[in-house]
Amino acid sequence: MTYVNSWDKFKLLLWKNWILQWNNKWQLILELLLPGLFSSLMVLIRALVFAEPKSTIDYPLLNISNLDLFKEAVVDGYKRRFFLMNSKKR
């Protein structure tokens, strides 16, 4: 029994795949042409669409040395929502 190295197995697998693809002509044509078609369509759309520049927004700095901001936004907000959800059931 002869030893077949990994490279020969890989080449044989590629050849088998090529034969299978060649027998399915429409699938082969679509696999080769559609990526180029969609890429050119994206380039065309990008050329036709004008990007509007927008000014930057500078937000004020927040002090994160304590957790008051987190408590106000998350914990207290959750308590309010929980209270409102349960108060409507009555």
Task: Kindly report the pTM of this predicted structure.
Answer: 0.41
What does the block give as tokens for 9?
A: 């197995």
pLDDT digits (tens, 9 = 90+) for 2-36: 788 999 999 999 999 989 888 888 888 898 899 99
pLDDT digits (tens, 9 = 90+) for 57-84: 998 886 767 666 666 666 666 666 665 5
Q: How many CB atoms within 10 Å of residue 21?
A: 13
What does the block give as tokens for 64?
A: 């994160």
CA distances to 6, 51, 52 from 57, in Å: 58, 18, 15
